[in-house]
Amino acid sequence: MKNNNPIGIFDSGIGGLTIARAIKRKLPNESLIYFGDTQHLPYGDKSSKSIVFFSEQIINFLRTKKCKAIIVACNSASSYLPISGDYQNIFNVIDPVIKYLKKFKKLKIGIIGTKATISSKVYFDKIKSLNRELSVEQMSTPLLVPMIEEGFVNEIISKTIIKNYLTRKQFEKIDKLILACTHYPLIEKQIAEVCPEIEIINTVDIISEFIKKSLKSLDLLSLNSSPKYDFYASNYTNSFEKTASLFFKEEIKLKEIKIWS
């Protein structure tokens, strides 16, 4: 595997762009290939079997692009994809956050995510196995991803939905909140306005720092001074292209490609 080969990143939609942007900032020499499975958006309401099938097809596609590492920038996919054996140099977005929580004691941790992520109990089980001193409350928030994908992030309706979720009784006296969906950092400001007393854990920064350390330990950091960024989607949307351009502060040409077999 060559150091200057690209890093592959995928998600069901624009959420994984939060990870891609963080990787670009943290590792400016790295070339990136991003795949958004907009045809099957959102993954959060799909079966675990479907999520694994879609993810494996995308991973195979990214391997044809000679990616030296692949980031599963989707919590729903990370919840069910068995990353071991043939999944060498593939990173999920859950384990780095779990490891970060190891240092905390006697806190109440809140977790919000898609139906798929929350029903998998992956966060709950991994946190409890790592640190039994932490109390965990998790909540499925299925309306947030469609709301974000449609661009409703600063509207009255979006603030109402966020408030409805986060002011429920089970989330009383939460100390720290995990945004267990890569879409959710896009509405972090709105969440903070609803719950100013709760510390939101910066999962994007934690994940990007973990990737940097991992690539360094594998001696796979790039020295490329002219990195390239390629964007693919299973179903072209103009809004996706505009959002990617906004995130990367340069014109992005989104390519539609069908990879399903």
Among candidate residues 17, 74, 178, 252, the one labeled active-site is: 74
Question: Which of 93, 181, 207, 244 is flagged as catalytic?
Answer: 181
* Strand (E) or helix (H) holding 71: strand 69-72
- Report the candidate in 171, 209, 165, 203 with the shortest Cα–Cα distance to residue 184: 203
Contact at 8 Å (CB) between 81 and 52? yes
Strands 199-200 and 32-36, by their bridges, are: unpaired
Task: Report whether 50 contacts 236 (CB < 8 A).
Answer: no
* Known catalytic membership, residue 74: yes
Inter-residue contact 94 to 36 (CB < 8 Å): no
Tokens read off for 168: 């429920």
Q: Is 67 tagged catalytic?
A: no
How are strands ordered across the β-sheet holding 229-233? Answer: 90-92, 69-72, 7-11, 32-36, 229-233, 254-256
- Exposure class string for 80-107: b at 16+ Cβ within 10 A, else e: bbebeeeeebbbbbbebbbebbeeeeee
**Looking at the annotation, which residues are catalytic?**
74, 181
